[in-house]
A and B are shown apart, each in its own frame.
Chain A
């Protein structure tokens, strides 16, 4: 590995430095978008849990090739659908990670 020193883009750095306050917050003026973020964030979280479970089952060898294909396709399309709906509210995929404080981020 090569040790490299560089300054990441400002947005990237800002995201990491400020994530401690990236909590669930609903503002009266942006209620629709904020609610969408919470709901879509939970959907993204549940989808990811299902993905982790699918990978575990795949590793354990309890899925047939056809089941793996079906599960993979479903999870892939579910992710794309969540991102599409989020984009309509001006929410990026990164914004779907909900901060649960000491419990960490959802995704």
Chain B
């Protein structure tokens, strides 16, 4: 069995195997049908979309019921549950509209192209920071790299539509270059906000 999440609710997904431990219910799924991170994420998303509230375990982490004895982990669940219960996350990314062309093959031109990429990534981060700050919601630190800047914001489930509109409004107000695009996806289970609870930090 793999642990896909924890809940403080009495309602659990019908295809989850509940395991009561330390005042919490761990949501388990058979190991043979949840071997890959993709499958584990898909199952978590289906539970989330069906309206179940739970603290998700990062899909890359294969947590078994024998790992559930960590008292420190259980101690943090209360805090995490208070923070993310009833919430989901939007993922935001600012990236170039078009794919980059091939890199120069001459040393000096290559170094200059790398500098241009760095400058562009810095601009993307600044833009994303402005959007996230404007939303005034809990957010992960902006991550920069691979020609993009990305972040996740924690959103109450019942405010998803309102937040999506707010993102669009802020993005439209900002004077930004035409060659970048903002990608918003979600609502996802709040996987980016469980670091303090499940040994994933």
- The number of chain B residues touching the other chain, given as a range, is 35 or more
Contact pattern, B 96-136, Cβ under 8 Å of A = 1, otherwise 0: 00000001011111111011001000000001000000000
Residue from the list B59, B103, B105 in contact with A17, Cβ < 8 A: B59
Chain B 22-35: CB-based contact to A (< 8 A → 1; otherwise 0)? 00000000000000
> For chain B, what secondary structure do more than half of its interface residues adopt (helix, strand, loop), or is it mixed?
mixed
What 0/1 readout, one digit per residue, does chain A (66-107) give for beta carbons within 8 Å of chain B?
A: 001111111110000000000000000010010001101101
B110 touches A18 (CB 8 A): no
Contact of B167 among A3, A8, A22 (CB under 8 A): A3
Q: Are A20 and B185 in contact, CB atoms less than 8 angstroms apart?
A: no
CB of B180 closer than 8 Å to a CB of A? yes
On whether the beta carbons of A1 and B178 are closer than 8 Å, the reply is yes
For B74, list chain A residues within 8 Å (CB): none
B153 to chain A, nearest CB (A): 13
Q: How far does the alpha carbon of A97 sit from the alpha carbon of B164 in the complex, in Å?
A: 31
Comparing B5-13, B78-86, B155-163, B169-177, the segment that makes contact with chain A is B169-177
Given contacts A18-B58, A18-B59, contact A13 B191 (CB under 8 A): no
Within 8 Å by CB of B110, from A6, A10, A19, A76, lies: A76
Q: Which residues of A contact B167 (CB under 8 A)?
A: 3
Contact: B58 with A58, CB < 8 Å? no
Q: Which of A1-59 contact B (CB under 8 A)?
A: 1-8, 10, 13-14, 16-22, 51, 54-55, 58-59
CB-based contact B110/A17 at 8 Å: no
| CB nearest neighbor in A for B191 | A17
Are A4 and B181 in contact (CB-based, < 8 A)?
Answer: yes
Query: Is there an interface contact between A3 and B184, defined as CB atoms closer than 8 Å?
Result: yes
Select one of A17, A94, A102 contacting B58, CB under 8 A: A17
Question: Which label, helix, strand, loop or mixed, suits the secondary structure of the A interface?
Answer: helix
User: A60 in the interface, Cβ–Cβ < 8 Å?
Assistant: no
Q: Are A21 and B106 in contact (CB under 8 A)?
A: no
- Once A4-B183, A8-B185, A69-B106 are accepted as A-B contacts, the answer to whether A21 and B200 lie under 8 Å apart by CB is yes
Provide the bound-state CA to CA distance between A22 and B180, in Å: 28
Cβ contact within 8 Å between A75 and B37? no
Does A14 contact B38, Cβ atoms closer than 8 Å?
A: yes
B185 touches A13 (CB 8 A): yes
Please list the residues of chain A having a beta carbon within 8 angstroms of any beta carbon in chain B. 1-8, 10, 13-14, 16-22, 51, 54-55, 58-59, 65, 68-76, 94, 97, 101-102, 104-105, 107
Q: Which residues of B contact A (CB under 8 A)?
A: 37-38, 41, 58-61, 91, 93, 103, 105-112, 114-115, 118, 127, 143, 145-146, 150, 152, 164, 167-168, 171-172, 174, 176-178, 180-185, 188, 191-192, 194-195, 200-201
List 14 additional A-B contacts (Cβ < 8 Å) besides A1-B171, A17-B41, A69-B106.
A1-B178, A4-B182, A4-B184, A5-B164, A7-B185, A8-B183, A17-B191, A18-B60, A20-B192, A22-B60, A55-B118, A59-B115, A72-B107, A76-B103
